Structure 1
Amino acid sequence: MNILFKSSMLCASMLLVACNNDDHQQSQTTPENNTPSKYYQTKTPYQPLQDLKKYEPIPQGFQAVFTELVARHGSRGLSSIKYDLALYNLWKQAKAENALTPLGEKLGADLENTMKANILLGYGVEGIRQFGYGNESLTGIQEHRGMADRLLQRLPELFKTTANKQTSILVQSSGVDRAVDSAKFFTDELIRQQPLLKNKIIPSSYTSLSSESVPSIEDGGVDRFKLYFHKLTADQDMTQSSSEQQKTIYDASHAYQKFAEENADLAQKFNELASNMRAEQVAMQVLTPIFKPEFIQKLGSSEAYTFSNSGSYSVIAPNGETITEKGKGKNTITSAVDAAAYLYELYSISGGMKTELEGVDFDKYMPLEAAKFYAEFNDANDFYEKGPSFTESNQVTSAIAQGLKQDLFKQVDTVVDQQQTHRAVLRFAHAEIIIPLATTLELHNMMQPLPLRQTYNYTNSAWRGELVSPMAANLQWDIYQNAQGTTLIKMLYNEKETLFKPSCNYARYRANSFYYDYLKLKQCYQIQ
């Protein structure tokens, strides 16, 4: 059995086949420009899926009164020095043995530039508190600034009203750097476009890009129960003052973590997925143009041909300072399969680092069919561990999002009950939050679990990470009311008008409309 992914990736047993979406599904998820997939999976850079000029018009007599957002952080660099350093150590050995092809000779410089770009990621960028691995790229920053611009264009009257009235704009995040930074760049763009909004944004810690301005649980700018619910811990999150709702969310988080770590059916599924013999064929397709055959055959044959992210790499910062990043030696390459999978990791992250990696092109190392293979592996991992999973999992992967889903409805309830204190609620989090939320709302006709006897692949499921949670993925609810007090809701997913689950069609304001009667929709989702 080959273990293809030893750290963040797990494998799937599947054939490489074309997507088999039906026409309705295609209309729900495909970008209007029909950009071909590069199979970056959940690391796909963000693009809005619909031109806002093509949205369905607001029904006559209604006006926008509230909006809320849940967004993933923007495109980022590598989370730490792992795959790049391990591959660099492998490359240096191949170089010493004269085992590189002409294409392989180019890989060394590309790996060095990748490590340098990640070590200095965010250097000198206002709003990045500590430069280095894990930060948002310039692409990621612009993704959130662009989203803020389009929000103002979509709901101009709502935000003009906000600037004049007492109702505030509440901003919250998970508290993790990438999410905090995304929130700050988003709000900074709102303020840049409409300076009067600055005094409406709460907490004020989100109104400055300064590294001294740090949102917290205490100022209301951080809510881990709603925006980091996949990793709640007793020590950090449970106190004597925890509410009943928080205790319920914590219990769901604990059940989810136990499922991910201990569930026998999930472990068996992953063992089954890891036995895909086609991985070796794909690895050879990736590595043969880079390394000579005799070197590829040696990989993993002895300790001398096992490589890891051990050692360190140093770069010179623009101010002349030498900055060194040390690897932990935990990410190892013991086979050709590992080496090719690590190359895919660098290929997939490079899409969101175009500015920082100018002149570096990992496309030449990753044939598109091979990228599709690895994306399918990653999608299988996320489908079972974060998404709909298997039927027998009893929805443990979506139960953790119940608190956030209830809060989405609760915010609209304050509008209906005329108790509204916010004109907008803007939340910033992670893929681990977006995916369960989309699952529990049963969006995109792709949230169906599979029975345990089946194995996820691109033929039997429409679920795709690049559609459900690309970088900066977002769900937005716009709320409208008329003079009679009727409340309508419209959902945008990645800025495309999106239907709620099919069983809620009776709540649509008109046939074929994306607007829903809010009270009927709430009833459909059985929200108390």
Structure 2
Amino acid sequence: MKTLTRLLALPIACSALLAACGGDNNDAASTPSQSGYYASKTNYQPQQAASTYEATPAGFAPVYTELVARHSTRGLSGMKYDDAVLNMWTQAKADGALTALGDKLGPDVEKIMKANFLLGYGVAGISTAGYGNLTQVGINEHKQLATRLYSRLPTLFSSVGTRKIEIMNSGQDRAVDSSQFFANSLGSNGTLAANITPAGINRYQLYFHKLSATGDKVTDGSAINAQVLQASLDYQSFAAAKDATGYGTEVAAKIAAARATPEIKTAARVVLEKLFSKAFLDKIDAGTYKFSNNSTRSYTSDDGKFTNKLTGDGKTKILSSVDAAALIYELYIIAPGLKNETGVDFSPYMPSDQAKAFAYLQDIDDFYNKGPSATEYSGVTYTIAAGLLLDFFAEVDHIAAGDTTRAARLRFTHAEVMAPFTAIMGIPGASSSVPRAQTYGYDNNAWRGESVIPMTANVQWDIYRNANGTLLVRMLFNEKEVDFKKDCDSARNAPGSKYYSYTKLKACYYPAG
């Protein structure tokens, strides 16, 4: 069995880290399963009932569990889409250019805006109210995820004794808050609250997409953290289309081309002509009308004790019909998560066929910039997840070595971490890249934001041990039993089983040494 020290010495290069980076290329393309076409803003739902899970092999009992989860459903990240759309609507109203449906749009946008200005006010566990906070839907997502974790492994948690349940996060507010709501819910079972231990912030594992050469400089001699830092810098150059290879520029061109297709322009007009007159839309497309998030607005809570005043930065612009429809889509996908705060149903403004078209624009961006991306890109988008994957294995190594100090490690992070992590693991449906000569599409790849990185997206490993000390691993992806990468089929405990021999699984992912 490899020691943690030897694991840390492994190179981060794709060929050395995984036997087959990018996962199983035999994933079948599929139609989105949830489908309101909310892409990565899809509210979380577990994808399998625990009652249908494979029975635990005879003689084995749970001894450990670990998790990494995206923060739960949040509001808008800032006063951007809402303000720009409201400015456009205000001009249309002044022009008499609204349809009957369009007349309702402005008040609904303003309800969403007010809710975001005040989001989290008076909610225990939210320190600073406003944009970017978790919604009530989101708070419940992580509470319920914790409840199901406890219910799934009652023998582990009922016999936890003095073992630690570690909580780790990225340090960003919504991940911190998600971790606390989860921990409080888990801790409400029996005496578990006494076992829950903050493990602090780990940016190398849980915020690796934004590491800084200076602020995140490795000072403890950790080889894997140094490699993740360099991978992060390479990734950020790629994402900004400033990498020396030109791959980032190529991706930017693919995304721009997808946005510029006649189909997207037609979809935008279908959406907008239900709301505005054609003459008004023609003025936008001709450049006569331009709108942005440049307002100064203020909202006060109902009790009069909290006021939030903000000024937009003017960077979110409406310069075309496509821009306008894309921003309405942004409000459409955030609205379900704010249903408790607003009561707004935004679906009348975004018909299903057009929602699918704009979901694709989000998915192609996320696929290339966060997910499996193109085969020839050497894993630039997902090798940054190497430290997190390594930590999953290292935690099980402790159990294999007889160190049961921890009963669980629970990590809370972001979509920008979940997408690379599922890709580097080779999870079916989340990890197949496409050749550079092709362009990602719904007809040639199974990757979908709504199924890979919805709100509260999570990967969980449950570890089981028998009297001989043999360890088995069962993986859940969004609470559905899933396979590890295809190359590891020989590690299954039995043909077709979702339980894998830990020793063989580790040798499959780390074959060198």
Same fold at TM > 0.5 = yes
Match of 2:19 in 1: none
Offset at residue 511 of structure 1 (A): 1.1
Offset at residue 480 of structure 1 (A): 0.4
Deviation sequence 1:310-337 (CA, Å, 0-9, x none)? 0122222122144322211111101111
Deviation sequence 1:264-317 (CA, Å, 0-9, x none)? 233133224423222211111000010011101001534x61000001222221
> How far apart, in 2, do the equivalents of 1:268 and 1:232 lie?
23
Query: Is structure 2 residue 485 aligned with structure 1 residue 490?
Result: no
Say which of 195, 198, 223 aligns to 1:200.
195
Match of 1:18 in 2: none
Conserved 8 A contact 2:73-2:138: yes
Letter of the aligned partner of 2:96 in structure 1? N
Letter of the aligned partner of 2:225 in structure 1? Q
Deviation sequence 1:390-437 (CA, Å, 0-9, x none)? 112111111100000000000000001102320000000000111000
Partner SS for 1:477: strand
Conserved 8 A contact 2:371-2:430: no
Conserved 8 A contact 2:425-2:484: yes
Are the structure 2 counterparts of residues 485 and 496 from structure 1 closer, same or farther at C-alpha, using a change threshold of 3 Å? same
Letter of the aligned partner of 1:222 in structure 2? I
Deviation sequence 1:25-68 (CA, Å, 0-9, x none)? 59xx99xxx96411100100000001111111111111100000
> How far apart, in 1, do the equivalents of 2:474 and 2:189 lie?
25
> How far apart, in 2, do the equivalents of 1:191 and 1:169 lie?
10
Mark the runs of 5 or more structure 2 residues left unpaired by the alignment: 1-24
Offset at residue 455 of structure 1 (A): 0.5
Conserved 8 A contact 2:34-2:450: no
Match of 1:430 in 2: 414
Say which of 146, 150, 154 aligns to 1:156.
154
Partner SS for 1:375: helix
> How far apart, in 1, do the equivalents of 2:89 and 2:340 lie?
25
> How far apart, in 2, do the equivalents of 1:90 and 1:175 lie?
36
Offset at residue 354 of structure 1 (A): 1.5
Are the structure 2 counterparts of residues 497 and 414 from structure 1 closer, same or farther at C-alpha, using a change threshold of 3 Å? same
> How far apart, in 2, do the equivalents of 1:229 and 1:143 lie?
24
Query: Is structure 2 residue 181 aligned with structure 1 residue 185?
Result: yes
Query: Is structure 2 residue 234 aligned with structure 1 residue 252?
Result: no
Match of 1:50 in 2: 48
Conserved 8 A contact 1:77-1:133: yes
Are the structure 2 counterparts of residues 259 and 46 from structure 1 closer, same or farther at C-alpha, using a change threshold of 3 Å? same
Match of 1:268 in 2: 250
Query: Is structure 2 residue 511 aligned with structure 1 residue 513?
Result: no
Are the structure 2 counterparts of residues 197 and 36 from structure 1 closer, same or farther at C-alpha, using a change threshold of 3 Å? closer
TM alignment of 1:45-444, pairs within 5 A: 45-162=43-160, 165-194=161-190, 196-203=191-198, 220-261=199-240, 262-263=242-243, 264-275=246-257, 276-302=261-287, 305-320=289-304, 321-358=306-343, 360-444=344-428
User: So what's the TM-score if we normalise by structure 1?
Assistant: 0.88
Match of 2:20 in 1: none
Conserved 8 A contact 1:172-1:427: yes
Conserved 8 A contact 1:300-1:333: no
Partner SS for 1:476: strand
Aligned-CA RMSD value = 1.8
Are the structure 2 counterparts of residues 459 and 25 from structure 1 closer, same or farther at C-alpha, using a change threshold of 3 Å? closer
> How far apart, in 2, do the equivalents of 1:406 and 1:93 lie?
54
Are the structure 2 counterparts of residues 43 and 317 from structure 1 closer, same or farther at C-alpha, using a change threshold of 3 Å? same
Partner SS for 1:255: helix
Matched residue count:
481
Offset at residue 24 of structure 1 (A): 8.1
Partner SS for 1:478: strand
> How far apart, in 2, do the equivalents of 1:116 and 1:345 lie?
16
Conserved 8 A contact 1:174-1:228: yes
> How far apart, in 2, do the equivalents of 1:416 and 1:240 lie?
29
User: So what's the TM-score if we normalise by structure 2?
Assistant: 0.91
Partner SS for 1:448: coil
Query: Is structure 2 residue 468 aligned with structure 1 residue 502?
Result: no
> How far apart, in 2, do the equivalents of 1:166 and 1:272 lie?
53
Partner SS for 2:510: coil
- Overall identity of the aligned pairs, in %: 46
Conserved 8 A contact 2:33-2:451: no
Conserved 8 A contact 1:387-1:398: yes
> How far apart, in 1, do the equivalents of 2:400 and 2:255 lie?
48
Partner SS for 1:193: coil
Match of 2:15 in 1: none
Partner SS for 1:179: helix
Partner SS for 2:464: strand
Letter of the aligned partner of 1:412 in structure 2? V
Offset at residue 240 of structure 1 (A): 3.5
Conserved 8 A contact 2:47-2:480: yes
Partner SS for 1:510: coil
Partner SS for 1:354: helix
> How far apart, in 2, do the equivalents of 1:95 and 1:324 lie?
24
Say which of 432, 436, 440 aligns to 1:452.
436
Are the structure 2 counterparts of residues 386 and 97 from structure 1 closer, same or farther at C-alpha, using a change threshold of 3 Å? same
Offset at residue 103 of structure 1 (A): 0.5
> How far apart, in 1, do the equivalents of 2:428 and 2:342 lie?
34
Are the structure 2 counterparts of residues 397 and 414 from structure 1 closer, same or farther at C-alpha, using a change threshold of 3 Å? same
Partner SS for 1:144: helix
Offset at residue 170 of structure 1 (A): 0.8
